[in-house]
Structures are given as structure tokens and as C-alpha cells.
Copies of this chain bind each other. A is one copy, B any other.
């Protein structure tokens, strides 16, 4: 597909340089693009067909004559999934990562007056693969790209997590420059290009929920819950005065079900439209227009919004999604409490199906859900998947999902949405190959940070994402002391044992606006940009958002490039070296440290977690190494560059400014 797109693009090249791109997308690629740009007002203008064909041609030069729409492991004849330990991940919502005002004047438009798609497209991701290679990225993790709904949307566009059709790719990713192609072609080309460049592709899947107007309703209205439309204005998770804020236990159920609000809540649910009036349903399901709107009009019923599985969670309802009906009956543990003739309903226990299963699995739905990933494997050759809300899935369903994918490709990798580091073993037993973890939380808290580095990471039974920030968290640059943490956090965690370095799209240019406020943030987190910024208050999950490509933090950009280069150079030490703590002349819980050794060669990582005060200390190299060490050379790398130690000895005197750090190379 990549070749066909290259051919098409070449046929359309003209002299018109009217497509603006950020400088940083192409910096350092003179060998790829040559002199095809014209600079105006600090923007590069280019003929778009020439630009994209140049990048694709360059990638194709590295291609062999094989089918790249298979997982990279299958291509290379490998069956292991330990590649994830070698991964360096770039996490991207392509809608955001590749959004840019290509007309070069005025403000952002999804599709602009010159006919350019300014929101993200897969075509634009292709030259960005080269950009990612500068950071030694070998794995691209994409947030959901499946067709999403705009019904009950929270911002100006739909959230990628409100999945309208899990089997379809969102049409918005089509680039109008590629007139004759479609999003499937374009995503295929992106995966091919990534695989040629030895970059694996991981997608995000959401089996527990669907958009309120999911395409699945048409053939399976009984896979959804239904309430009367007139009850929607009062629909919300019932308040259980007698209980605190908690995930309910089996012992709480009698309190919950006796609650008056719960009883009212249960009465709101009705049968699915096909049961209410089968004949009418046959007509309504084929009507033109949005299926849910038609059901509301004709039946007066609607799929209810989602809510948290915690009792007394103060979060508002999740208006853009609804839960899928995973069991055909009520939770076993609740069956004694549920009124007779109760219609299928949603409550805390129903949501948390992993803990409160029913007796009759909705196998037809389970088959459907577990076939989603294999469809993407067969069509595009993706290499892995993240499972959203896996913790709420019945364990049997989770098993089915993992098994089917691994049957097709044993090297296929599953990432659990598991934020608790201590649940590593559980996730491993469930068949996952990696967890998200909570490094982004730890790095912002000195004691947690110290624990992460000195205790947790070495004990992990599964790799975890070493992520200073994620799409759900504050940006590392926007944290308190962000000007120090944006360097210190990636430095200390990208080298951790079991850590898989993760760059959250935008992190590398010092972006401060979060993409979502889901974790470790408050509502004020969306107000960090100056209010005259075009994207002030916008969150990429709910609105169009353009990264500040025209205002790149060059210091962090160059630092991360350098850091990832060294991570690559010393990868052997991290993966196969001997892990040892570092011996100092004192330790006050502020000096993060670890080291890796292969024979008498070592790398030592030290960082000052104190962001206000410096630290002077000595490192005892012998004691660190564990026996006598012949020291031939010591090189210290710090943020500003390399410092060779002239007279290397067993005792290394160091001074680290607040938040400063060093990589010390022994005999290397």
C-alpha cells in the first residue's frame, strides 16, 4: 500500500509550495528532503505531494521485497514477546500529534479552506516516524483510532474512547491529499512504513464500553441497557448514604439493594427495543439518520450513560459512553436482592463484572469482542494492544481476548491498564506482558520517586511503562518544579530495571497542556496555557488540539534525543547487566541511585531528588561494584555534556545541584 500511495503522490507533485509544516518535523533530514522548503514567517512551506512522497520514498529505500502488513515478529520469524522489554515507546493520539495549521494563516480548521486536513491523518504520521527515530523510538503506541461518536460529546469533537464501531477506523483520519485512498489503506501504509523502519505498532482497545449510539445497537439492541428517555434528566449513580467511597464488597450488596435511590434507579430500566415491539424495531433499525435518535423518537428509550464502579464516586456520569451487557442475567451475588421481573440494569456490581459475574455469559458478545483484535492483526499486522478497563472484564472474557490474539501471533503483546505497580503478578497471570504502572505519579513526589527507583522497579514481575507523563496525567513540564523534573524524571526512570521508556507525544517539545484530566490533576489543570493561546482550555481528548510545534522547548528536545541515544547505547547493561545499588558516604533519601555492571564495566545513575537544595557526596565504587575494581576510566555525563575524570579513583566526589543528575561510566 505504501508504494501505491507513493506512486499516487508523485503523480500530483507541482511547484506550488502552499502547505505549511513545523520546522522541527524535518530538522536534521536534509538527506531526505533536500531543498524543497520555502521559509515564511518562521514556517516552512512545501508542496505537500512532494513532501510526503519524499519521506515515503526514503522509507521504501529501506524496504525488502516482503509483506510488511504482518507483525514485526512474524516478519522476522520470531515467536517471543520479550521484544517489549527492548521497547522505546512513543505514545500518540494521531488526531493531535499530526494536527497543524497547514494553510499557514488564520486559525486551525479541521479541513481548511485550501482543502488541507489540519487535524491528524495517518499520512502525516509517516514523516513523523522519521522524527521519532531521532528519539530511538521502536514502538508506536496509538490511542484509540476506531470510529468514535460525537453524540453527547464533552468538547467540540468526540472522545476517542467513545467507540462507535470497534471494527472501523475513524474516517477523520483520511487525508484528502490521498483522494483515491481510504483510512484502511492509509493505516495499512502507516503500519508498513513503521515496520520497514523497525517500529512496532500497538493499538488501544476498549471492550467494556461503547458509544451511546454504537453501531452494534442495530443488530444487537439486547447487548445494551435501556432506560426511558424521560428518566435521563434524573439518571445518575445512586447515592448510598450508609457506605463510604469504595468498590463494593459482596457484604455491601444488601445495603445497596435496600437503598431507596437504588430501587428508584432500578425502575428506570426497560427492555431493549426489539423486545418492546419487534415489528416496529425492524422498521426503526433501518431508518435513516442516527440510530439512537431514531430509537428515542420512536420508542422513547435510550442507552444510559456510564458511571464509576466505586460507590459514592463524585464523578459526573460518563455521558458519551454506555456499558455493554456482558451477562444475560443479573450478578449472581445480587440475585437475591433484585426485584422480580427486574429489567437488565446497571449498578456498581454489574459494572465490576470481574468481581460480580453473572451466571449466563453473553457469549455471542464475548465472541464479538474477542474477535476485534484478531481483525486488526489480520488486516494490518499490528504488534500489540492495550486493553482499556480490563480490570472490570470477566476473567474468562479477558482470557478469550488474549488467547485469540496470541493464537494468531505468539509474539503479540498485551498491555494492562493497571496503574498499581503491586498488581504486576496478577497482570502477568492474566496473560499481560506489561502494565502501565504509576511512574508518572511517583516522579512528582519525592518519597514515592525514591521508592520507585530504590525498591519497586527491580522487584517487578512485568515490564512497566517508564512514563514521566501519560495522556491522562499532567505534563511533566507543567508539574511543580517542572523545569527540573522534565529532565530528571526521564533520566532516572528511562534506565530503570523493567522500565520501558515512554515518550508521551508533546513531552519531547515541552508541551504543558495535558490531553485529559483523568489522573492526578484537577479542573485547573486545563488552564495552564496563557488565555490568548488558540488552544487555551482545550483537551486533546475532547477538542482539536495542536501541539506547540512553533514554540518547541529546544533544551528538552535535544536532551531527550541525547538521553534516548544513550539509553540505546547502554541497553545491554540495563537488560543483561548486574543491578546494584550505589554506595555513598551518606544517604538521606534524596540521592536516587542505581548501577548496572557487566564484568568490570559499569554505568551508574545518580540523581538529586531534592529540587531546592544541592547535595555534595562521595561514591565508593568498590563497595558499589561489590569487590575490588580496577578503575581505568570514569566519564560523567550530565545535562550539559560529558566530563572525563582526569585522575580516576575509587572514591568519586560529586556535587549535584537541586534536581541535577549524572550518568557515570566506569571503564567504558
Contacts and interface: CB of A to CB of B under 8 A. Distances in A.
Interface of A: 18, 20, 40-41, 43, 45, 103-107, 113-115, 151-152, 154, 156, 229-230, 232-235, 290, 292-293, 296-297, 305, 319, 523-524, 526-527, 530-532, 536-537
Nearest to A534: B154
A234 B113 contact: no
Contacts of A154: 107
Contacts of A20: 233
Contacts of A113: 151-152, 290, 292-293, 296
Which applies to chain A's interface (DSSP): helix, strand, loop or mixed?
Answer: loop
A537 to B, nearest CB: 4
Smallest CB-CB A-B distances: 8 pairs: A104-B233, A523-B532, A105-B233, A537-B537, A105-B232, A523-B531, A106-B152, A106-B319
Contacts of A230: 18
Nearest to A290: B113
Nearest to A152: B106
A299 to B, nearest CB: 13
Nearest to A115: B297
A107 B319 CA distance: 9
Given A105-B232, A152-B107, A530 B523 contact: yes
From A43, A105, A319, residue with most partner B Cβ within 10 Å:
A105
Contacts of A235: 105
A156 B108 CA distance: 11
Given A107-B152, A107-B319, 8 more contacts: A20-B233, A40-B233, A43-B233, A114-B229, A523-B530, A524-B531, A527-B527, A536-B537
22 contacts: A18-B229, A20-B233, A40-B234, A43-B233, A45-B233, A104-B233, A105-B232, A105-B233, A106-B305, A106-B319, A107-B152, A113-B151, A113-B292, A113-B296, A114-B229, A114-B296, A156-B156, A523-B530, A523-B531, A526-B531, A527-B527, A531-B537
Contacts of A305: 106
A41 B234 contact: yes
Q: Name, among A20, A45, A113, A230, the residue most crowded by chain B CB atoms within 10 Å (CB to CB).
A: A113
A43 B230 CA distance: 13
Contacts of A45: 233
Contacts of A106: 152, 232, 305, 319
A60 B523 CA distance: 48
A343 B531 CA distance: 38
A524 B536 CA distance: 11
A527 B530 CA distance: 10
A229 B235 CA distance: 52
Contacts of A526: 531
A234 B18 CA distance: 13
Contacts of A152: 106-107, 113
Contacts of A292: 113
Nearest to A292: B113
A541 to B, nearest CB: 15
| A20, A103, A230: most-surrounded residue (chain B CB, <10 A) | A230
Nearest to A319: B106
A290 B103 CA distance: 17
Nearest to A533: B523
Contact of A527 (B40, B115, B233, B531): B531
A523 B532 CA distance: 6
A73 B43 CA distance: 59
A264 B111 CA distance: 30
A462 to B, nearest CB: 36
A235 B103 CA distance: 13
Contacts of A531: 523-524, 526-527, 537
Contacts of A293: 113
A103 B152 CA distance: 12
Contacts of A290: 113
A237 B290 CA distance: 47
A302 to B, nearest CB: 8
Contacts of A151: 113
A526 B114 CA distance: 31
A532 B314 CA distance: 14
Contacts of A296: 113-114
In this complex, which of A106, A154, A526 has the most chain B Cβ atoms within 10 angstroms of its Cβ?
A106
A46 to B, nearest CB: 13
Contacts of A115: 297
A261 to B, nearest CB: 13
Contacts of A114: 229, 296
A527 B156 CA distance: 18
A151 B113 CA distance: 8
A104 B527 CA distance: 28
A530 B18 CA distance: 41
A292 B114 CA distance: 10
A532 B230 CA distance: 26
A312 to B, nearest CB: 19
A41 B236 CA distance: 11
Contacts of A319: 106-107
A609 to B, nearest CB: 31
A205 B166 CA distance: 50
A40 to B, nearest CB: 6
